[in-house]
Amino acid sequence: MLQVVPYMPGTPIYRDGVLSHLYYCLKKENKVALTFCGEEKNHDSFVAYFDRLKTLQVLCRVADNKDLKPVGFSWVDLPRGVDGARACQCGEAFFGGVTRTRDARDLCKLALAYALEELRIDVLHGVQVVSNIAARNFSLRLGFKEVAIVPKWHYIDGELHDARVVMLKKEDFMPGFLRWKEAQDSTAASENPMEISQ
C-alpha cells in the first residue's frame, strides 16, 4: 500500500528527524544536486527550506504493520494567483530503489492530486535541466506537457545550462486521475474484502 502524507502537525510523519532522514537518503544516493537542478543543498539549508515552505509531502510505502516507510517526497513552491487561478512550481524526489518503479508513478499521481485539490492549485510547472531525460520522460508519463526551453537558466558546476519547463493543468489531470483511483480502489476492495467492509 502507498500513502502520501503532508508534513504538517497532526500527521503521523510530522516527527523529529524526518527532514534529516529525507536529506541523508538523498545524499547517500548522490541525488541532492539532481533534485535541486544543480544546487547542492547542505543538511541545514535543506531542513530550513522545507520547514519554511510548509508544502512538503512525504511519499511512503505502508508496511503490513501500518508503519510508514518514506521512499520520496514532493513539494510545491513559488505560488502565484488566487483560488481558481493559482499556479505553482513543483518537484519530487525518490530514493531507496523506488525511482524506476510503478510505486514512484503511483505516489506521484497521488501527490499531484493532493496539490491540485487540497492546495487549490490550477496549474503546476516543473523546471528541469534539459539533459535530465529521465525527469522529462517521467513527467510526460504523468501528463505534463513540455512548454518551453529556457537557455542558460541553471547554474551547475561553474556553467549555465538550459532548462526545460513542463506544465500540468488540473483540468487535464484530474479526470484521468479519478478513473485511475477508482480502478485502484476497486482492485483493493476485491483483494481485501474484509478490510473494506470494516
Q: Spell out the domain ranges in the chain.
A: 2-182
Mean pLDDT of 34-55: 93
Average pLDDT, the chain: 92
H/E element, 48? helix 43-53
Question: Is residue 135 a contact partner of residue 174, using CB atoms and an 8 Å limit?
Answer: no
Q: How confident is the model at residue 197 (pLDDT cuts 50, 70, 90)?
A: very low
Q: How confident is the model at residue 192 (pLDDT cuts 50, 70, 90)?
A: low
Between CA 176 and CA 156 the distance in angstroms is 36
Classify 50 as helix, strand or coil. Answer: helix
CATH node for 2-182: 3.40.630.30
Task: Find all residues with CB under 8 Å of 123, minimum gap 6, and list them.
Answer: 86, 87, 88, 167, 168, 169, 170
In this predicted model, what pLDDT tens digit does every residue of 134-191 receive, in sequence order?
A: 999 999 999 999 999 999 999 988 899 999 999 999 999 999 999 999 998 887 766 6
| pTM, full prediction | 0.89
In this predicted model, what pLDDT tens digit does every residue of 92-127 receive, in sequence order?
A: 999 998 988 999 999 999 999 999 999 999 999 999
**End-to-end Cα distance, the chain:** 17
